[in-house]
Amino acid sequence: MRNSLRVLRAERRWSQAELADRLGVSRQTINAIETGRYDPSLPLAFAIGRLVGQPVERIFFDDDDGGSRTP
Amino acid sequence: MRALHSRQEARVLKLDSSARSSLAGVVWFAVAALASVVGSALGRLAGAHTMDPAFPARLLGTCMLASFVVAGSSIWRMVRCRADSWLLPLAALNLALLEPGRAGDATTWRAEWAVGGVAATAAAVALFGRLLARTDELQRRIYIDGAALGLLMALPLAMAYALFESWLPELRAQWVTISLLLLWWAGWLLTSFRYRYGTTP
In chain A, DSSP finds a helix count (H) and a strand count (E) of 5, 2
Q: What is the pLDDT of residue A47?
A: 95
B67–chain A Cβ distance below 8 A for any pair: no
**pTM tops 0.80, yes or no:** no
**Predicted local distance difference test score (pLDDT) of residue B194:** 87
Chain pair A-B, CB pairs under 8 angstroms: 62
Determine whether the interchain pair A32/B196 forms a contact, defined as Cβ–Cβ distance below 8 Å.
Answer: yes
What is residue B13's predicted lDDT score, i.e. its pLDDT?
43
The ipTM assigned to this model is 0.78
CA distance A16 to chain B (A): 7
Asked if A27 lies within 8 A of B16 by C-beta distance, the reply is: yes
* pLDDT at residue number B1: 44
From chain A, pick out residues whose CB is under 8 angstroms from the CB of B12: 9-10, 13-15
Q: Measure A47 CA to nearest chain B CA, in Å.
A: 13
B166 touches chain A (CB under 8 A): no
Q: Three-class SS of residue A25?
A: coil
pLDDT at position B10 is: 46
Residue A67, SS3 per DSSP:
coil
Half-sphere exposure (CA, 13 Å, Cβ side) for B124? 25
Residue predicted with more confidence, B200 or A10: A10
Q: Which residues pair with A3 in a beta bridge?
A: A60
The pLDDT of residue B9: 46
Residues of A in contact with B136 (CB under 8 A): 24-26, 29
Long-range contacts of the stretch A18-26 (C-beta < 8 A, 24+): A19/A51, A22/A51, A23/A47, A23/A48, A23/A51, A24/B136, A25/B136, A25/B137, A25/B138, A26/B82, A26/B135, A26/B136, A26/B138, A26/B139
Residue A48: its chain B contacts at CB < 8 A?
none
Residue B135, pLDDT score: 83
Burial class (CB in 10 A: 0-12, 13-18, 19+), B126: exposed
Would you state the torsion angle of the CA atoms of residues B201, B190, B136, B24, taken in this order, to the nearest 10 degrees?
Answer: -130
User: Please, are residues B91 and B124 in contact by the beta-carbon 8 Å criterion?
Assistant: yes
pLDDT tens for each residue of chain B, 201 residues long: 444 444 544 444 444 445 566 788 889 999 999 999 998 888 878 777 767 777 787 788 889 889 989 998 998 888 888 788 888 898 888 888 877 766 666 667 777 777 777 777 777 778 778 788 878 899 889 999 999 999 999 999 999 999 998 998 888 888 888 899 999 999 999 999 888 877 655
* pLDDT score at B160: 93
pLDDT digits (tens, 9 = 90+) for A17-66: 999 999 999 888 999 999 989 999 999 999 999 999 999 999 998 876 65
Determine the Cα–Cα distance for residues B115 and B109; give it in Å rounded to an integer: 10
What pLDDT is recorded for position B105? Answer: 67
Nearest chain B Cα to A14, which residue? B12
